[in-house]
Structure 1
Amino acid sequence: MTAVVQSTPEMTLATLRAGLDAALESTTARLRAISEGKPLPHFSVPDTSALPSIASIFSLNEGEQELISLAAGCELDPGIAKIVSAVNGSGNPDPWLAVQLLGPQAWDLLCPEAPLRRWRLIELTGSGPLRQRQFRLDERILQALLGNRYLDARLEGLLHRILPVVAPGPAASGMVHSIIEAWCTPGRLPLLLLGGRDQMSKRILAAAAAQELGIQLYRLRAADIPSDWTQRTALALLLDRELALSGAAVLIEADPENTAAAAILVDLLSGPSILSAADPPLPERTPRLRLDLEPPSPAERLDTWRNALGSRAEVFGSELERIATHFNLDPSAIASATAIVENSTGSQETLAPMLWTAARAQGRRALEGLAERIDCRASWEQLVLPAEQIAILQDLAGHLRNAWKVSQSWGWAARSSRGLGAAALFAGPSGTGKTLAAEVLANELSLDLYCIDLSQVISKYIGETEKNLARIFAAAEDGGAILLFDEADALFGKRSEVKDSHDRYANVEVSYLLQKMESYGGLAILTSNQKSALDTAFLRRLRYILNFPFPDAAARAEIWARIFPAETPCEGLNPQALARLNISGGAIRSIALNAAYLAAAVPEPVQMAHIHRAVRREYGKLEKTFTGAEQEAFR
């Protein structure tokens, strides 16, 4: 099949129908001759009919065109159906009637491998001997003969038309011309493999190429491709046929989980098609051309932000550069973010936080579903740590706040993009505030905090752990989110001595993680209960290491004094006495919350008696002995 890529001038519906009527008249004349036993006149199709165009698309000879005209006549013209009924008694065309029209060659034209049935232009119905079966024209083909253009109903819900919404960035403009050149070069159309992580930007550049060529572009998600081979083959046939009839192209978007299914489908297509994936596989279909879309640089993103904001860009000053550097957004996401402030008025102090929040919301799209986002409301006042640890945390916050200045304005990114992020280890016993400190940083910097479930990352299958880590870090780059690998000892322990293949691949996993940590532009936090279990080579790669000590009596008293919100009614609480309880900050929070529920059930203010009951429950849960010295706190 020859796929029509470039658009052609459209004829009016009246002209198309007039041409079809002329073709039907030619068929009618031949049918009358058969019924009257006269010699058959020559079958002819005028140029004004849509039939020659369809014949060109599917490489139909004159006999096949006559069979289509016959089937269309029975559908549209009662007069033709009446004549057919006079010949075969049914009023519908059948193979025996085709033989009378065309001679023995009709059997070849109705073969399942011949164009008419291969492309499902006609369908044989009924059972019994082949000569007694009837054939009907597929409705999509009949409507095409009438000049009606629409998407085949069997593809509705699978194909989605893409319309250009924003112009592609400067980095993608060259790729747009490459697509156009590939599709305009004489010969068999190449399969285009579009690589790169930014799916939306690839969609934008494909839509721009289609718009410049004057053709439609449809999108098909690889997740919607049937797994059954018969259904997949039927989809490929209908899709290929629709591309040719509509003068369209298809963009198949694949995730890492379904790239194999996408590769199988595109092997079955011959029309203009693009396979979009982060790392496209190599289908068997040739010729093929691979194009890789590199992520835009901070300078290119800044230009996109300025173009989207127009004259309002000057209001944001240097804050716009900070936003463009921190959030790796595609042009459509930037357009969505700037729409939030389009009708807002104010100064940089009021508009910049609004634009930051909008960019942050756009940047979290890729990470949703890969990790759990934590709603961070914790403040510095809730964090009770030694002054040295607080100072390190504040330095870490400053690192992230000024990363754009050091990396871009001060030239460090131009030297090397590796190692510009902030990787940190929070080490200490459970409940000492490691996760709380991460929440404080996220809230202070207005960043998203995602907790990574290691049970979903670590895989027993070789190479799967690295793939899972790569997806997480790649998705996090869009929004510059803070990644929290809680209780990370299972993955980040000492690299073992290689005794077998499992040890070797476990070491590969650790080494791969170190590489991703160094290249990640944001903050990745690892929490561990046993710092001594970590390899020294791993520690060298971490920019910040914070030890969270078990709170002493003074720290516990401070935690008790701050643990209840100002809105919680309290009466007769003694933080100094409660400091005798030898427990962590996490256990204190759990006890305080349970005591609040006990008091609310009465209801009455939280008192020492409620805390006493909550302590006993907590100690029972932890299988911890409630010592006599600790019981003195409630006497």
Structure 2
Amino acid sequence: MAEGSPALLRRLQRVELAVRAAVATRREADPQPDDPFRGLYLSDEAVDAALAAGREPFLPWPGDPADASARASAGSGPAAGAGPTPVGGPAEGSTEGPAGWSAGPEGTGREAGPDRLAALARAAGLTPLDEALLLVALAPDVDSRFELFYGYLNDDVTRRRPSVGLALRLCGLPEAAAPARLRLTAGAPLIDLALLRVDSPDRPVLSRGLWVPDRVGGWLLGADAPEPSLAGIAEPVDAAGPPPPGAEQLGRSGARLAYLREKPGGSAPALAVAALDHTRRGALAVDLPRLAADPQAAELATVLVREALLTGAGLVVGPVRGDEPWAVWSRLTAGEVPVLAYGTQPWDPAWTAGAPVQVDVVPLSAADRAAVWRAALPDRLADGLDPAAATAHFILGAPAIRRAASVAVQLAAATGEPVGTAHLRAGARTQNAAGLERLARRIVPEVGWDDLVLPPATLSLLHELAGRARHRDRVLREWRMRPGGGRGHGVAALFAGDSGTGKTMSAEVVAGSLGLDLYTVNLATVVDKYVGETEKNLERIFGEAAGVNGVLLFDEADAIFGKRSEVRDAHDRYANIESAYLLQRMETFDGLAVLATNLRANLDEAFTRRLDVVVDFPVPDEAARRALWDRCLGDRAPRALDVDLDFLAEAFELAGGHIRSAAVTAGYLAAGAGRPVGMAELIGAVGREYRKLGRLTLESEFGPYLGLAV
């Protein structure tokens, strides 16, 4: 101790002085200070002394520990039963302790208890007997003298809480009163809402102990700290911004249980919070998957309902997945606390005993999204920039827009610029769910329209595809050009052409022009040899993609979008089931999907009808090949004077992907030789590319450079 902090030692000395003062005060009022069996039994004299000590349970020990210690050493003090007289201590009711001490921010709660108990009784439907039982059980947590009293009345010094029998007798009821005993069993609000606990179930009923959970006792005394066991599972949330459409109607309905089925771009949690706010209730947001995964899920569900009851809030629960234990739903929906659940799948009536009010949460209209964007970005936008137009193809709810706007402001501040289109789109991309990245490879676009070398007709179709993505909200939602039939609002395109003709790169360019990421589906994660598993994998991909603002690319699509065939065996039957499922799922997809294939003839004709744009990628002609060679060599790599792009374009009929591969190989050869890229390196790279393709190196093609194609 001598080596410790001097300041800490001084504080510990104050603790010792306070203990000395408390011991002195106790001895002054103790009728048997020299009893060698103190603490092992309770005498009548000790109980009488406790009863005579007064009825005020909130006074501290004598105010100044040093003064009390001096009085104890001098053998003087106040008369027994007169109560301690603070010297230099706080005034009665103050939340501050003696100098150098702190009683904490919550205070004694002396005025909060009765009012809060009455409010709790109204909210939980407690009877006067319930209130009396709750007070009997709460007494030891408020006044330590009641531990002594209950130990004496229980005839057991170790049992310092009331038993069931003792509580009933203190409430003026016989122990055998069946209706009263039912108030302390399952089905009664005190027990079902965890306002009161009954321990020792192995004991006879009348000797079981009663106690009040710390959260309930603290709340009745005025403390508002949240329940610790709910950390990471539930948190209070406030309504932000203008209420979403439908919030007022949902609030007026007074529904105790509602299910909000969320469409892509909808904001079901925000709608639920706004509906509760309309009824002047707070909202407690519950992470349902995390709650359901907890080993004590049912118990925590009861605690959640109790927390909502204490704070006057409703529960916003989700996202619903359908695999939650029935006990969780039964606990959450017990009582009168409003429960607003949300998810993307249909509601199953078997989940709860009661039927919920079901509401479809549709995406915000373009006008509503524009209003949220402008409200979130006052005086921060670049001149003339319309945030709604720049992000028209992003399907975001109001909370996601506000978060995206915050990210955009931070990105712009980092560069010292006003918020521009790139900042807005980058902020919007941060709101994409991460689930799709586990099923597909994400590509951040790094190429633009100027990097494409394609015929004008092909480029025109690619621009049309990007335009469809930008304006689909107006055409399909506002103008209702595709009504009925359960059709989605997605855009689907087919890119068909030989390998290396630019299909994947074009998808990347389209995604980049829209400010979206490109997600390439890995067929290894999709196709499964077990029956039905391929469809499940595809459903997971489509489900995750529906909540992501991105372009979904199915490369080598003919592998899973192939033609249906005549059924000759079980393999044909299940292959046809996969194709039929995909036909249906593509029609209801709400995102932007691109199917790329080298073999268009292998695709089922029924897919073609469901495609919005079909783009054919031809093998490049001589002019296009020259442009590709020039583009692939770039302007940074040093070129030798003997580079003949005209010869390369005329002699070698290669697709763009092969030209790019040959250019990169030539770069490595030149770097290894320590010289600029010349014809020797380029011809050598073409020769290697020919061998990869299984083509012969003929003199008619290589001409005078045949010897370099090694």
**For the superposition of Structure 1 and Structure 2, which TM-score range results when normalised by the shorter chain?**
0.7 to 0.9
Q: 2:399 aligns with which of 310, 325, 332?
A: 332
Aligned to 2:659: 588
Amino acid at match of 1:624: G
How far apart in 1 are the matches of 2:614 and 2:475? 27
> Which gives a bigger RCO, structure 1 or 2 (Cα 8 Å, sep 6+)?
1
Amino acid at match of 2:697: T
Q: Is the 8 A contact 1:337 1:358 kept in 2?
A: yes
CA offsets per residue over residues 404-435 of structure 1, 9 Å max, x none? 67984999934436799764322122222111
TM-score (norm 2): 0.68
- 2:347 counterpart of 1:281: yes
Q: How is 1:58-97 mapped onto 2 (pairs within 5 angstroms)? A: 58-61=124-127, 64-87=130-153, 88-90=156-158, 92-95=160-163, 97=166
Aligned to 1:149: 224
Q: Superposition RMSD on alpha carbons, in Å?
A: 4.4
Q: Is the 8 A contact 2:449 2:509 kept in 1?
A: yes
Aligned to 1:475: 547
How far apart in 1 are the matches of 2:505 and 2:624? 15
Aligned to 2:308: 243
CA offsets per residue over residues 263-294 of structure 1, 9 Å max, x none? 76333322210110123413333142111122
Relative to structure 1, is the Cα distance of residues 150 and 126 closer, same or farther in structure 2, using a 3 angstrom cutoff?
Answer: same
How far apart in 1 are the matches of 2:238 and 2:181? 44
Relative to structure 1, is the Cα distance of residues 612 and 273 closer, same or farther in structure 2, using a 3 angstrom cutoff?
Answer: same
Q: Is the 8 A contact 2:218 2:224 kept in 1?
A: yes
Q: State the 1:567 CA deviation.
A: 1.6
CA offsets per residue over residues 37-83 of structure 1, 9 Å max, x none? xxxxxxxxx99354444445555555554443333222232322223
How far apart in 1 are the matches of 2:518 and 2:352? 42
Q: How is 1:94-173 mapped onto 2 (pairs within 5 angstroms)? A: 94-95=162-163, 97-98=166-167, 101=170, 103-105=174-176, 111=185, 115-123=189-197, 129-130=203-204, 134-169=209-244, 172=245
Q: State the 1:533 CA deviation.
A: 0.9
Greater percentage in helix: 1
How far apart in 2 are the matches of 1:55 and 1:302? 46
Q: State the 1:100 CA deviation.
A: 5.8
Q: 2:614 aligns with which of 539, 542, 545?
A: 545
Relative to structure 1, is the Cα distance of residues 128 and 394 closer, same or farther in structure 2, using a 3 angstrom cutoff?
Answer: closer
Aligned to 1:23: none
Q: What's the secondary structure of 1:240's corresponding residue?
A: helix
CA offsets per residue over residues 499-547 of structure 1, 9 Å max, x none? 6652552342232145247xx5x75322111111123343344344333
Amino acid at match of 2:694: K
How far apart in 2 are the matches of 1:412 and 1:290? 24
Relative to structure 1, is the Cα distance of residues 411 and 586 closer, same or farther in structure 2, using a 3 angstrom cutoff?
Answer: closer
How far apart in 2 are the matches of 1:211 and 1:420? 32
CA offsets per residue over residues 572-627 of structure 1, 9 Å max, x none? 5444565556654323323433443454456544455655776676667x473663
Identical pairs, percent: 28
- 2:479 counterpart of 1:413: yes
Aligned to 1:253: 318
Q: Is the 8 A contact 2:265 2:362 kept in 1?
A: no
Please, which runs of 5 or more residues in structure 2 have no aligned partner?
A: 1-42, 49-110
How far apart in 2 are the matches of 1:128 and 1:543? 70
Q: 2:248 aligns with which of 139, 162, 176?
A: 176
Q: 1:536 aligns with which of 596, 599, 605?
A: 605
Q: Is the 8 A contact 1:591 1:615 kept in 2?
A: yes
Q: How is 1:201-220 mapped onto 2 (pairs within 5 angstroms)? A: 201-220=267-286
Deviates more, 1:200-209 or 1:335-344: 335-344
CA offsets per residue over residues 447-485 of structure 1, 9 Å max, x none? 443323344456642763663464256335xx4x43322
Q: How is 1:192-591 mapped onto 2 (pairs within 5 angstroms)? A: 192-198=258-264, 201-227=267-293, 231-254=296-319, 258-261=321-324, 265-269=328-332, 270=334, 271-282=337-348, 283-305=351-373, 316=384, 322-323=389-390, 325-336=392-403, 354-355=420-421, 357-359=423-425, 361-362=427-428, 365-366=431-432, 368-370=434-436, 371-385=440-454, 387=455, 390-398=456-464, 400-401=466-467, 408=474, 413-416=479-482, 423-457=492-526, 460-461=531-532, 464=536, 467-468=539-540, 470-471=542-543, 474-476=546-548, 479=549, 481-497=550-566, 502-503=574-575, 505-516=577-588, 524-551=593-620, 555-571=624-640, 572-575=642-645, 580=651, 583-591=654-662
Amino acid at match of 2:459: L
Q: What's the secondary structure of 1:285's corresponding residue?
A: coil
Q: Is the 8 A contact 2:429 2:516 kept in 1?
A: no
Amino acid at match of 2:161: P
Q: Is the 8 A contact 1:196 1:277 kept in 2?
A: yes
Relative to structure 1, is the Cα distance of residues 218 and 439 closer, same or farther in structure 2, using a 3 angstrom cutoff?
Answer: same
Relative to structure 1, is the Cα distance of residues 262 and 301 closer, same or farther in structure 2, using a 3 angstrom cutoff?
Answer: farther
Q: Is the 8 A contact 1:179 1:209 kept in 2?
A: yes
Q: Is the 8 A contact 1:199 1:276 kept in 2?
A: no
Relative to structure 1, is the Cα distance of residues 204 and 541 closer, same or farther in structure 2, using a 3 angstrom cutoff?
Answer: closer
Deviates more, 1:580-589 or 1:208-217: 580-589
TM-score (norm 1): 0.75
Relative to structure 1, is the Cα distance of residues 160 and 614 closer, same or farther in structure 2, using a 3 angstrom cutoff?
Answer: farther
Q: Is the 8 A contact 2:511 2:518 kept in 1?
A: yes
Relative to structure 1, is the Cα distance of residues 263 and 529 closer, same or farther in structure 2, using a 3 angstrom cutoff?
Answer: farther
How far apart in 2 are the matches of 1:423 and 1:217? 40
Q: How is 1:20-31 mapped onto 2 (pairs within 5 angstroms)? A: none
How far apart in 1 are the matches of 2:469 and 2:637? 39
How far apart in 2 are the matches of 1:402 and 1:49? 61
Which protein is bigger by CA-based radius of gyration? 2
How far apart in 2 are the matches of 1:410 and 1:86? 78
Relative to structure 1, is the Cα distance of residues 134 and 614 closer, same or farther in structure 2, using a 3 angstrom cutoff?
Answer: farther
Aligned to 1:634: 708
How far apart in 1 are the matches of 2:219 and 2:185? 23
Aligned to 1:40: none
Relative to structure 1, is the Cα distance of residues 263 and 467 closer, same or farther in structure 2, using a 3 angstrom cutoff?
Answer: farther
Q: Is the 8 A contact 2:489 2:588 kept in 1?
A: no
Relative to structure 1, is the Cα distance of residues 98 and 411 closer, same or farther in structure 2, using a 3 angstrom cutoff?
Answer: closer
Q: State the 1:497 CA deviation.
A: 3.3
